[in-house]
Amino acid sequence: MTLHLKVKPGSKVDQLFYDAAGQLNAKIKAPAQDGKANAYLIEFLAKQLGIAKSNVTIVAGFTNPHKRIDIETTQEIYERFLVKIG
């Protein structure tokens, strides 16, 4: 499955939410330097989904706030994740 989301690093809290336009957003505590935010985002998403970090891969947007992320999981887990944040 593929997620498209906008990431705001350096936030005070970790949070997943939909904005007014329906775009999935992630606020994360990690700073946007030396790949720290990307690594933290992978860990954060894996924890939210209840899957291994190795099943979450950033495929586009490494240096951009708009990211495309591939997630290897079951449809059931993915749907529970979407319900949880939405």
Query: Among 33, 29, 73, which Cα is nearest to 51's?
Result: 73
- The domain total for the chain is 1
Judged by DSSP in three states, 85 sits in helix
Q: Which structural domain range is residue 26 located in?
A: 2-85
Query: Tell me: the pLDDT tens digits for 12-45?
Result: 999 999 999 999 999 999 999 999 999 999 999 9
Report the C-alpha gap between 28 and 17 in whole angstroms: 12
Residue pLDDT, tens place only, 44-78: 999 999 999 999 999 999 999 999 999 999 999 98
Q: In this structure, what CATH number is given to the domain that contains residue 36? A: 3.30.1200.10
Q: 67 φ, ψ to 5°? A: -120, 150
Task: Give the pTM.
Answer: 0.91
